[in-house]
Amino acid sequence: MSERIARALLALASRALGSRHRVWAQAMEAELSAAVDEGRPLGFAIGCLSAAWRELAFMPEGRFALALHLTAVLLIVPMAGVGLWLGAIGFPYLSIGNVGIDGFLAGQSQQLPTLLVGERAMAPALTLMVMALSVGQFMLALALVDRNWDRVSSIARFNAAALTTLMLVTAILSVAGGLVLVMVAAVAVETMALVALHWWRELVPYDDWPDAARIAA
């Protein structure tokens, strides 16, 4: 098992190094067998991965790859997680109640419905839209890490359409307007980050990209 994990970590290191350091990657592969015989495959693989990631900061394509992963992990995935949490508590048609957010987190919220009786038929659809938007955010993060820009564009358009629909419907029903505007602002920041990354991609020398990145581009 440890050898399999070590080979997976070594594959990540080789991918990070790209075509310019293929000889280094091949040397690591050759030395792994010796590390396995000595009973230290994981330590060797972790050291190789750490060295490869440090090398990324000195390569144009490496800095670009780091920016992609940081955008996905620190911006898009947290937004998706918050969306799933909101959907789980019934957003946007269930309120926090009269105890505030602290009371809600403590399990004391009344979660009173805020829609009129005739409007509650729309409630499940609204929550499903929030959940779909969250799933779309997770898919966007995966597409971004894979550098599949066609999928990034398609998923971003779907997310924008879902959020626009949610904003219009909640505005008409006068529910959760403020929180929806926060979501709109977050998606606007996300969109600007994606545009900036796309522009940056055009500046990265194509021949210097890692092999896997070149295939996905």
Write down how long the chain is. 217
**119-141 in b/e burial notation, b at 16+ Cβ within 10 A?**
beeebeebbebbbbbbebbbbbb
Chain centroid, CA 162 distance in Å: 18
pLDDT > 90: what percent of the chain? 14
Angle of helix 60-71 versus helix 41-56 axis, rounded to 10: 100
pTM > 0.75: no
Residue 212: closest CA among 17, 7, 6, 10: 17
Q: Is the model's pLDDT at 109 over the cut of 60? A: no
Distance CA 13, CA 6 (A): 10
> Looking at residue 5, what is its pLDDT?
82
Farthest CA pair distance, the chain: 72
> What is the mean predicted confidence (pLDDT) over 145-172?
87
Query: Which range (24-28, 36-40, 59-63, 173-177) has the least confidence?
Result: 173-177
